[in-house]
Amino acid sequence: MATNNMSIQRIKREFKEVLKSEEITQCSIKLDIINDNFTELRGEIAGPPDTPYEGGIFKLEIKVPETYPFNPPKVKFITKLWHPNISSVTGAICLDILKDNWAAAMTLRTVLLSLQALLAAAEPDDPQDAVVATQYKENYQMFESTAKHWTNVYAGGPHKLEEFDRKVQRLKDMGIGDYEARAALSRNNWNLERATEQLFS
């Protein structure tokens, strides 16, 4: 029980650190506590400027193990997004500090800031979502438009891409769900015929 207590004290201290940070005043990160024993938190990061995620707010599920800070928190995106290192399906994240490169000196604030940095600097050679990574490397412009579209739809971003919306609607008219339609089109570089073929094959 002692370690758990220690871990709770540590999380409380880190929670305060986030609340007092200048990133909070700039509204670029946010942290909320979901349950009384501080093992479940909800994070929020703003999409970094000059990226397709700019203007979006991305929510994160953060689960803190009893062995914290010796083991990293389990973090995943609740907000859907299009990024090589984040699964467009599950929100799972490929980031070394959340796995083997975790250090007990890291804090919840560094985790949020690292994820924000990941949005600004993708690593397509170490992907979580291979389809997104391939698009990023082979057709960056298409990747950027798709990422902007997902930011607009799922994270309240400012970029409306009517051509993409129309194609999603076409598939929805055929009885395909909203997310399934968007994912199929995104994976097929917004080629309606190919996406339709994939969905109905």
The span from the CA of 127 to the CA of 83, in Å, is 9
Residue with tokens 């391939």: 134
Please state whether 190 falls in left (phi above 0), alpha (psi between -120 and 50) or beta: left
Instruction: Look at residues 119, 120, 125, 43 and name the one whose alpha carbon lies nearest to residue 86.
Output: 119
Round to whole Å and give the CA distance between 181 and 167. 8
Q: Which residues pair with 86 in a beta bridge?
A: 83, 93
**Is the distance from CB of 60 to CB of 75 less than 8 angstroms?**
yes
8 Å CB contact between 60 and 18: no
**∠ CA 178-83-25 to the nearest 5 degrees?**
100
- Cα–Cα separations (whole angstroms), residue 3 to 108, 145, 161: 18, 47, 50
Q: Are 8 and 38 in contact (CB under 8 A)?
A: yes
Catalytic annotation present for 27: no
Catalytic entry in 29, 64, 81, 94: 94
Q: Which residues are catalytic?
A: 94
